[in-house]
Every structure is written in structure tokens, then in C-alpha cells.
Amino acid sequence: MKKIALSALVFFALVCVASCKCTQKASKAVLTNNSWELSMLNGKAPNAADFQRILPTVTFSADNTISGNGGCNGYRGTYTIGDDGSFKTDKVVATKMYCEDAKGENEFFKALGKADKIKTEKNRIALLYEDKEVMVFVPKTK
């Protein structure tokens, strides 16, 4: 009986490990399949009035380039995703157009820079900091 229970435990552990690997591969495909629009920032729905032109967007390229618009300024940089779901942006630069009130955009870039994990679903991307969602994106509608 103990051998059967141990065998079942090992089998389920292997299935879990294999499914995690598949999820990571699928997450990159989900990321690069759409342009994404901000739907939550620091626990709240974004207020369009806090952004000069549009709600912030993000596009993830297969070559690990990240780009989009912060609400007023365009930006570009790189990103990395670890096998454990860790996430990091690097070398993110933005245009320097004049924005009347950049409060929302500043909050967006601050959250993007501190995000340390990522979770993906078919129609949702969440960036987390210390296991708390700080940004959520949904597919951008044209």
C-alpha cells in the first residue's frame, strides 16, 4: 500500500512539474499574441483623466523587447521572464513630450519598474510586486 501511495505521489509531482514548464511556454505565446491595455494600476481601475492621451499600453515582443505608451509618452526597453515567473524590465526609455499632468504616467512607470513577477492568462496579464498585483492588462481593442 505504501509503494502505491508513494508511486502516486511521485507521478503527481512529475505531472505538476511538467505542467509548470508548459504554462511558462504558453505564457510567452500569450504575451506576444496581443497588444495590451492597462485595466488596473495599484489596485484601482485607471482614471482616463490621469493620462494625457490614452490609457497606457504594452506590447511584448518575442525578442524580449517591451514597448508601448505610458499615457502620454512612448517607451521601449527589454524584459526577462524566469522559469519561476519572475519578471524584470531593463533599459526602459521614454520620449520626453510635454504632458500637462503626468501623475498617472509617473505612477504607471513606477509600477512597471518595480514589478518582479508575472502571471498570464488567455485574456489577462498581471504584473506583481512582492506577490501583490500592481498592474493588470487586458487585450487592447482597436
pLDDT for 137 equals 97
For the chain, 142 residues long, the average pLDDT of each consecutive 10-residue run is: 47 41 57 93 93 93 96 96 94 91 91 96 94 96 78
pLDDT for 19 equals 42
pLDDT for 2 equals 53
* CATH class in words for 2-139: mainly beta
The full set of domain ranges for the chain reads 2-139
pLDDT for 1 equals 53
Please check whether residue 60 is in contact with residue 51, taking contact to mean a CB–CB distance below 8 angstroms: no
Please check whether residue 31 is in contact with residue 60, taking contact to mean a CB–CB distance below 8 angstroms: yes
**How many other CB atoms are found less than 10 A from the CB of residue 10?**
10
